[in-house]
Amino acid sequence: MPEEPTGRGVPRRPAYFGPAAMDAQAGAPDPARITEVAHETAAVIVGTGRAAHDPALTTRLVELVDELGLSTLAELWADRPARSLPGALWRLYALREWVRRDPTGAARDYAAGIRFADVPHVVAGVAEPPGPEELKALTDAILTGVFEGDLAIALERAAAFCRVISAGRAHLADDTDDHEPLVSSAQTRRAASMQTTGADLEACARLWRKDDLI
């Protein structure tokens, strides 16, 4: 397993943040403390997962939304800058949850974007053919890489996934523009949003390599 970048702190006693602890932290009334807690919890979760070398713990961390609910993570991390550790984690978990909730739609968008984003498709590393189950496996693999592999590569895979999805949505928007302009407009906005997410995750990967992702 790759070593941690020089200077990055790792918890001395890795401890899983359970729902009660996270809910209590998220409920802090002081805005400055809420910001502090967001970064602390992100660092603890990533540091714990990377220090433990425990497949069972990794699985629990990958499935964190299943246990806590997306709204709990949103309270912790959704308002943090996109190019920060909590901002990156929020986007990774939100992507996983979207694919799990709408795997057919995700597969449709992804399939539509492959020929317009062939290099990102390779970087994302989804199994062929990229159907609903393959995309669910991809998002799990990306989060697994956060805790067990090179976190920068996990972020780059997620960014590449976003770029393929964005290309697919843009293509589908073009196809529906003449007869469903409102649907086309919504798809175009969603494509732009996913493109931005991809750019933010790529930036996070660069920051992690410089030991500046906090």
Q: What pLDDT, on a 0 to 100 scale, did the predictor assign at position 177? A: 65
Residue 85: enclosing H or E segment and its boundaries? helix 85-101
d(CA 197, CA 185): 19
Q: In which residue are the tokens 């425990």 written?
A: 54
3-state helix, strand, coil in the chain (%, to 5): 75, 0, 25
User: Distance of alpha carbon 25 from its chain centroid, rounded?
Assistant: 22
Spatial CA neighbour of 187 closest among 105, 81, 66: 105
Q: What pLDDT, on a 0 to 100 scale, did the predictor assign at position 178? A: 67
Within 13 Å of residue 85, how many CA atoms lie on the same side as its CB?
A: 22
- Tally of residues, the chain: 214
pLDDT digits (tens, 9 = 90+) for 89-124: 999 999 999 999 999 999 999 999 999 999 999 999
- 32 SS3 class: helix
Q: What pLDDT, on a 0 to 100 scale, did the predictor assign at position 29? A: 58
Within 13 Å of residue 114, how many CA atoms lie on the same side as its CB?
A: 14
Spans of the chain, pLDDT less than 70: 1-29, 177-178
**CA end-to-end distance (rounded Å), the chain:** 22
Rounded to the nearest 10°, the torsion over CA 183, 96, 112, 185 is: 20
Q: What pLDDT, on a 0 to 100 scale, did the predictor assign at position 179? A: 73
Within 13 Å of residue 31, how many CA atoms lie on the same side as its CB?
A: 2
Tokens representing residue 125 in the block = 């590393």
Q: What pLDDT, on a 0 to 100 scale, did the predictor assign at position 59? A: 97
